[in-house]
Chain A
Amino acid sequence: MSTLKLDLENYKELLKEYIRTKDEQALYQAEQFSKHSMQHNISPEEIINIHVQSLEEIYPEMPADIQASMNFLLETMISYGLAYQEHQALREKQLELKSELSVAANMQKTLLSTKKPDFDGIEIGAISVPAKQMNGDYHHFVQDQEGSLGIGIADVIGKGVPAALCMSMIKYSMDSFPHKRMEPSVILESLNRVVERNVDSSMFITMFYGLYNPQSHKFYYSSAGHEPGYYYHHERGEFCEMDAPGLVLGVTKDAEYPQKEQQVDPGDMIIMLTDGVTECRQGDRFIEPEEVLEIIKKYMDLPAQEMVEQVYKHFEKLQDFQLRDDFTLVVLRRNV
Chain B
Amino acid sequence: MDFQSCVNIKKEWDIVGARQLGRDIAKKIGFGTVDQARIATAISELARNIYLYAGSGKVCFEAIDDMNHKGLSIIAIDEGPGIEELSQVMEDGFSTSGGLGAGLPGVKRLMDEFDIVSEQGKGTEIKVVKWLR
Q: Are B38 and A78 in contact (CB under 8 A)?
A: yes
Q: Are B41 and A52 in contact (CB under 8 A)?
A: no
Distance between B91 CB and nearest chain A CB, rounded to angstroms: 10
Q: Which residues of B contact A52 (CB under 8 A)?
A: 33
A-side interface size class: 10 to 19
Docked CA distance A49–B101 (Å):
21
Q: Are B33 and A79 in contact (CB under 8 A)?
A: no
Q: Are B32 and A82 in contact (CB under 8 A)?
A: no
Docked CA distance A126–B101 (Å):
48
Q: Are A79 and B37 in contact (CB under 8 A)?
A: no
For chain B, the count of residues having a C-beta within 8 Å of the partner chain is: 17
Q: Which residues of A contact B109 (CB under 8 A)?
A: 82, 85-86
Q: Are A85 and B33 in contact (CB under 8 A)?
A: no
> In this assembly, does B110 line the interface, its C-beta being within 8 Å of a C-beta of chain A?
yes
Q: Are B110 and A82 in contact (CB under 8 A)?
A: yes
Q: Which residues of B contact A71 (CB under 8 A)?
A: 33, 37
Docked CA distance A84–B106 (Å):
11
Q: Are A82 and B100 in contact (CB under 8 A)?
A: yes
Q: Are A86 and B38 in contact (CB under 8 A)?
A: no
Considering residues B33, B40, B92, B102, which has the most beta carbons from chain A within 10 angstroms of its beta carbon? B33
Docked CA distance A82–B33 (Å):
16
**Which of B32, B34, B37, B101 interacts with A83 by CB under 8 Å?**
B101
> In this assembly, does A13 line the interface, its C-beta being within 8 Å of a C-beta of chain B?
no
Distance between B95 CB and nearest chain A CB, rounded to angstroms: 10
Q: Which residues of A contact B41 (CB under 8 A)?
A: 78-79, 82
Considering residues B37, B92, B109, which has the most beta carbons from chain A within 10 angstroms of its beta carbon? B37
Q: Are B101 and A74 in contact (CB under 8 A)?
A: no
Q: Are A86 and B37 in contact (CB under 8 A)?
A: no
Distance between B108 CB and nearest chain A CB, rounded to angstroms: 10
Q: Which residues of B contact A84 (CB under 8 A)?
A: 101
**Interface 1/0 per residue, A130-150 and B, CB below 8 Å:** 000000000000000000000
Q: Are B37 and A82 in contact (CB under 8 A)?
A: no
Q: Are A83 and B100 in contact (CB under 8 A)?
A: yes
Dominant secondary structure of chain B at its interface with chain A: helix
> In this assembly, does B105 line the interface, its C-beta being within 8 Å of a C-beta of chain A?
yes
> In this assembly, does B93 line the interface, its C-beta being within 8 Å of a C-beta of chain A?
yes
Q: Are B32 and A86 in contact (CB under 8 A)?
A: no
> In this assembly, does A31 line the interface, its C-beta being within 8 Å of a C-beta of chain B?
no
**Interface 1/0 per residue, A80-98 and B, CB below 8 Å:** 0011111101100100000
Q: Which residues of B contact A155 (CB under 8 A)?
A: none
From residue 91 to 129 of chain B, which have CB atoms closer than 8 A to chain A? Answer: 92-93, 99-102, 105-106, 109-110
**Interface 1/0 per residue, A213-226 and B, CB below 8 Å:** 00000000000000
**Which of A46, A75, A83, A90 interacts with B40 by CB under 8 Å?**
A75
**Interface 1/0 per residue, B1-44 and A, CB below 8 Å:** 00000000000000000000000000000001110011011000
Distance between B130 CB and nearest chain A CB, rounded to angstroms: 13
Q: Are A46 and B34 in contact (CB under 8 A)?
A: yes
> In this assembly, does A268 line the interface, its C-beta being within 8 Å of a C-beta of chain B?
no
Docked CA distance A74–B35 (Å):
11
> In this assembly, does A325 line the interface, its C-beta being within 8 Å of a C-beta of chain B?
no
Q: Are B102 and A74 in contact (CB under 8 A)?
A: no
| Closest residue of B by beta carbon distance from A75 | B37
Considering residues B33, B34, B40, B93, which has the most beta carbons from chain A within 10 angstroms of its beta carbon? B34
Q: Which residues of B contact A326 (CB under 8 A)?
A: none
| Closest residue of A by beta carbon distance from B107 | A82
Q: Are B33 and A74 in contact (CB under 8 A)?
A: yes
| Closest residue of A by beta carbon distance from B91 | A93
> In this assembly, does A45 line the interface, its C-beta being within 8 Å of a C-beta of chain B?
yes
- 22 CB contacts below 8 A, A to B, read A45-B37, A46-B34, A49-B32, A49-B34, A52-B33, A71-B33, A71-B37, A74-B34, A75-B40, A78-B37, A78-B41, A78-B110, A79-B41, A82-B100, A82-B101, A82-B102, A82-B106, A82-B109, A83-B102, A85-B101, A86-B101, A90-B92
* Sample of 13 further A-B pairs with CB below 8 A, known A45-B34, A84-B101, A86-B100: A74-B34, A74-B37, A79-B99, A79-B100, A82-B100, A82-B106, A83-B100, A83-B101, A83-B102, A85-B109, A86-B93, A90-B93, A93-B92
Could you tell me which A residues sit within 8 Å of B by CB distance?
45-46, 49, 52, 71, 74-75, 78-79, 82-87, 89-90, 93
Which 4 pairs show the lowest CB-CB distances between chains A and B?
Answer: A82-B101, A86-B101, A83-B101, A83-B100
